[in-house]
């Protein structure tokens, strides 16, 4: 396993859409292992493959309450809302308030290609949504909460 470089938000690669994963092989397993090690080394709770220069739909999350390796992740349903300050390993000098769902029904494949459905709430839901945004070329500050507008 290796620590990979995390690209920052000035890199145009972070604005591109990721492609679906079709092969569940040793190369994917290495990417997942490296992403987890990279996230841990950077003291993060989530990391998406585009952040390490790979335009594939792969994310890892470890909030302390939940550990997820998600391939081709989707959001099947949402409920409620939460507003909280977010940061990002690709944007180390910027934080802002972002509105996210409080509850998310997640659908993804694990490292072996088995479909998983999981209910996520609070920080787990926030991290899942944040990382999926990376797969679509969206950064958290694009969703900055501006409060109620008059």
Q: Could you give the residue numbers annotated as active site?
A: 131
Number of Cβ within a 10 Å radius of residue 69: 23
Task: Give the residue among 33, 133, 143, 6 at the shortest CA–CA distance from 73.
Answer: 133
**CA–CA separation, 142 and 118 (whole Å):** 26
Residue 67 zone, left/alpha/beta (φ > 0; ψ -120 to 50; rest) = beta
**CA–CA separation, 147 and 134 (whole Å):** 23
CA angle 4, 7, 12 (to 5 degrees): 140
């Amino acid at each position: 396993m290796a620590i990979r470089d995390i690209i920052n938000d000035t890199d145009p690669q972070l604005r591109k859409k990721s492609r679906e994963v079709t092969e569940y092989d040793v190369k994917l397993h290495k990417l997942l292992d490296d992403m987890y090690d990279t996230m841990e080394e950077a003291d993060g709770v989530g990391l998406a493959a585009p952040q390490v220069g790979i335009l594939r739909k792969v994310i890892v999350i470890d909030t302390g309450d939940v550990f997820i390796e998600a391939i081709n992740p989707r959001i099947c349903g949402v409920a409620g809302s939460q507003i909280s300050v977010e940061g990002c390993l690709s944007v180390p000098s910027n934080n802002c308030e972002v509105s996210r769902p409080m509850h998310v029904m997640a659908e993804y494949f694990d490292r072996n290609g088995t479909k998983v459905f999981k209910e996520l709430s609070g920080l787990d839901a926030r991290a899942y949504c944040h990382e999926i945004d990376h797969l679509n070329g969206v950064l958290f500050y694009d969703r900055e909460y501006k409060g109620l507008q008059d």
